[in-house]
Amino acid sequence: MARPKEKLLADVMVLVFRLNGRLLEQGDRLVERLNLTSARWQVLGALALAGRSLTAPQIASAMGITRQGAQKQLNRLMNEGLLEHRSNPSHERSPLYVLTDSGARTFAEADQLCDLWAADLGQAFPEDALHTTERVLGELLARLNRPLASLIGKRPKADCDPL
Amino acid sequence: MARPKEKLLADVMVLVFRLNGRLLEQGDRLVERLNLTSARWQVLGALALAGRSLTAPQIASAMGITRQGAQKQLNRLMNEGLLEHRSNPSHERSPLYVLTDSGARTFAEADQLCDLWAADLGQAFPEDALHTTERVLGELLARLNRPLASLIGKRPKADCDPL
DNA sequence: CCCTTAATGACAACCAGTTGTCATTAAGGG
DNA sequence: CCCTTAATGACAACTGGTTGTCATTAAGGG
């Protein structure tokens, strides 16, 4: 075989980097008119998908970023009136966030645009190819969520110490 | 079908975002010992792969980022002695960059680590699944490189005007 | 040979994310 | 019921990328 699996995988990695950039860029343009960016859109999405109020750390975790990163977008969305606080019965310093009417409307518009966009992009691909892609990327992600201690010759942290 | 293609594609997009983060994170850790980051590693890679000296804009284009972004990393790599200037016969203000011995050695080490890493990650996947993934992502990228003018109701720029 | 335009580097401002620190609140074990 | 520890928000500094601007150099057309 001309391309060993490592090389194929390296190609996939490079594609992921490029795609990430393009997706964010096009996503930004897609929701520009709504005064959203990809980042703020994703926050609205986390709340809309959850269908209930969430705290900042919960939203961060749903987005796969740090709570500080999520907090920045939350503060901004609050200022713009797309979100509001609900007092959190089980944590007085950590409010729950919910979409305002304006926020829900804005997200619905973005979601419509996204469907059009995805339908347009998706028509080029056979269903099973998309499925395979999803499976591979998902499995890759799962493997990347484990540490790579062995390769870098770094000792595992104390709490991972072998008995 | 329970999942229409738009939804599958949306899932793939989310996976790309997550993977991008993880790959950068693990990549950073992989080359940490070499005083590299994913970004600086990629600059060295662009030069090593090209096998010849390149200008800053050429490197930026190879990396798919802006020339200003590439320049930042180039300046830093110069300071650390991994790159050096060659005078550019065809452009006196835009020098050519080449790897120093130290830069070439550092990149060779990183490349070795990368092969180990990719081999480890790649063994989980059948060859044809990786191939399909590469094809889908590549085609997706190609489609994302065209503007999405129609969906956002934005007029195309003057130089794209229909005759 | 000018003169306009494109390419380039330097710089600054910004965006989205990270890590780290600090003070406060929540939670749980003697 | 303390007292320690974890979780949280606020803040600051940093990274890697973006856009925009400016001055200079290259390139090409009258």
Q: For residues B23 and A137, what is the distance between their CA atoms, to the nearest angstrom? A: 12
Confidence bin at B161 (pLDDT 50/70/90):
very low
Backbone angles phi, psi at B48, to 5 degrees: -65, -45
Residue A18: pLDDT above 60?
yes
Mean pLDDT of A125-129: 93
Average pLDDT across chain A, whole number: 87
Token pair of A84 as six digits: 């509001």
Backbone angles phi, psi at A87, to 5 degrees: -65, 140
Least Cα distance to A137 among B157, B21, B49 occurs for B21
Confidence bin at A155 (pLDDT 50/70/90):
very low
Kindly list the residues from chain A whose CB atom is less than 8 angstroms away from the CB atom of residue B117. Answer: 148, 151
Kindly list the residues from chain A whose CB atom is less than 8 angstroms away from the CB atom of residue B148. Answer: 26, 29-30, 117, 120
Residue B133: pLDDT above 50?
yes
Confidence bin at B48 (pLDDT 50/70/90):
very high
What SS3 class is residue B54? strand
Mean pLDDT of A11-37: 91
Backbone angles phi, psi at B157, to 5 degrees: -65, 165
Beta bridge partners of A98: A84
Picking from B1, B15, B120 by the largest number of A CB atoms within 10 A of its own CB, the best residue to mutate is B15
Residues 6+ apart with CB under 8 A from B104: B48
Residue B162: pLDDT above 60?
no
Q: For residues A38 and B159, what is the distance between their CA atoms, to the nearest angstrom? A: 27
What SS3 class is residue A83? strand
- Chain A, 99-158: which have a CB under 8 Å from a chain B CB? 113-125, 127, 129-141, 143-145, 148, 151-154
Confidence bin at B2 (pLDDT 50/70/90):
low
Predicted local confidence at residue A163, as pLDDT: 28
Residue B131: pLDDT above 90?
yes
Q: Which nucleotide is nearest to B74 (CA to C1')?
A: C9
Least Cα distance to B137 among A42, A111, A32, A140 occurs for A140
Residue B154: pLDDT above 90?
no
Residue A108: pLDDT above 80?
yes
What SS3 class is residue B31? coil
Distances (CA, A) of B155 to B35, B119, B135, B158: 47, 47, 31, 9
Confidence bin at B122 (pLDDT 50/70/90):
confident
In this structure, of A52-61, B36-45, B118-127, B152-161, the range with the lowest mean pLDDT score is B152-161
Confidence bin at B123 (pLDDT 50/70/90):
confident
Q: Which residue has the higher pLDDT, B71 or A10?
A: B71
Predicted local confidence at residue B163, as pLDDT: 28
| Amino acid, single-letter form, for residue B89 | P
Give residue for tokens 């499995």: A139
Tell me, rounded to whole angstroms, the distance of Cα A1 from its chain centroid: 36
Q: Is the dihedral of CA B23, B28, B29, B31 positive or negative?
A: positive
Token pair of A143 as six digits: 């493997």
Radius of gyration of chain A (CA): 20
Least Cα distance to B148 among A151, A25, A74 occurs for A25
Q: For residues A139 and A15, what is the distance between their CA atoms, to the nearest angstrom? A: 16
Least Cα distance to A109 among A45, A54, A56 occurs for A45
Mean pLDDT of B92-109: 94
Predicted local confidence at residue B158, as pLDDT: 39
Q: Which residue has the higher pLDDT, A1 or B118?
A: B118
Mean pLDDT of A122-145: 91
In this structure, of A34-43, A73-82, B94-103, B142-151, the range with the lowest mean pLDDT score is B142-151
The DSSP symbol for B154 reads P
Q: For residues B154 and B41, what is the distance between their CA atoms, to the nearest angstrom? A: 38
Q: Which nucleotide is nearest to B69 (CA to C1')?
A: D17
Pairing of β A83-86 and β A96-99:
antiparallel
